[in-house]
Amino acid sequence: MTTAAQTPPATMAARTPGRAQPDRAGIWITVALVIGLLIMVVPFIWMLLGSFKPTSELRQVPPTWWPVQGTFDNFTELFSRQSFGRFFFNSGVVATLVTLGNLLFCSMLGYALAKLEFPGKRILFVLVLGTLMVPSVVTFMPLFIVVSNLGLVNTHAGLILPFLAGAFGVFLMRQFIMGIPDELLDAARVDGAGEYYIFWRIILPLCGAPLATLAILTFLGSWNAFLWPLVAALTEDMYTLPVAVALFSTGQQESNLGIQLAGAVIVVVPVLIVFILLQRYFTQGIAMTGIK
């Protein structure tokens, strides 16, 4: 009898006629991924290159890809003639405090829903999940009325307080904390540790990955928020960067595209820095919390 080791290569190849199919499928998948990458990256490259072009070159037809008359005037005017420092400060304060608030309160709520027993726990969790199904536009007007009645319109508090805890953050932290062994917490309780000690010294040190994920998503959403700051900020000194960039203009009729693109570049840079610093933890957090 002919053994498998004695089977000629031609015979083995004949038994696997579909062996070349995965390679062909891999090529098509690679092509699709490259096309998708280009669709996502090309607008950012155009924005970056356009920020170094004068407005006349941005409006010419046919358009140029590489700056023919490269200039830093857009960035110079952005930082000198506009109140850009104030806008950057507003965005930084709002995004940082909103992110820190979500890290604290969402982790506390997630711990309570995952490991503590109290009446109405399941009902409360269902309500948290239910808020994820409600479009933000539905709650926009009631939220503005509440903030207005509290006298917080056109203040940093009015831009920050409504978003200090999000339902998605609570769900994310709960799902991860549920995976922490109960025996670890019971051992701490036997040693006399209270719930606050367990939360600060045991739970939070184990939640690095989901906290990084929540930080990236929250910072990204708060830094790029446009509609709420546009409505809640009544004067120019309270504008955030997205609002200011959208309203930059040279006159009543014509927008300065160069300054807008330069402002958009400055808006994107902090988000990229945060993501680059936390991307490893972001990937771990998505994988370990079971979100597909």
Digit-coded pLDDT (tens) for 151-194: 889 999 999 999 998 889 999 899 889 888 888 888 988 988 88
Task: Judge if pTM exceeds 0.85.
Answer: no
Residue 74 CB-density burial (10 A; 0-12 exposed, 13-18 middle, 19+ buried): buried
How sure is the predictor about 81, in pLDDT bands with cuts at 50, 70 and 90?
Answer: low
Residue 66 CB-density burial (10 A; 0-12 exposed, 13-18 middle, 19+ buried): exposed
Helix, strand, coil share (%) of the chain residues, nearest 5: 70, 0, 30
Domain ranges in the chain?
82-288
pLDDT at 292: 38
Residue 71 CB-density burial (10 A; 0-12 exposed, 13-18 middle, 19+ buried): middle
Q: Which of 148-157, 208-217, 283-292 has the lowest mean pLDDT?
A: 283-292
How many CB atoms are located within 10 Å of the residue 156 CB? Answer: 15
Architecture of domain 82-288: Orthogonal Bundle (1.10)
CA distance 227 to 94: 14
Match 């010419």 to its residue by tokens: 60
**pLDDT above 80 (res 94):** yes
Per-residue pLDDT averaged across 252-259, rounded? 63
**pLDDT above 60 (res 2):** no
Number of helical (H) and strand (E) elements in the chain, helices listed first = 15, 0
Whether 61 and 266 have beta carbons less than 8 Å apart is answered as: no
Rg for the chain (alpha carbons), in Å? 26
Task: Kindly give, in sequence order, each residue whose CB lies less than 8 Å from that of residue 185, ignoring residues fewer than 6 positions away.
Answer: 115, 198, 202
pLDDT at 22: 53
**pLDDT above 80 (res 281):** no
Per-residue pLDDT averaged across 107-112, rounded? 92
Alpha helices in 16-119 (DSSP H): 21-50, 55-59, 73-80, 84-115
CA distance 198 to 204: 9
SS3 283: helix
How far from 169 is each of 4, 260, 267, CA to CA, in Å?
A: 56, 32, 24
Residue 51 C-beta-side C-alpha neighbours within 13 Å: 19
pLDDT at 8: 53
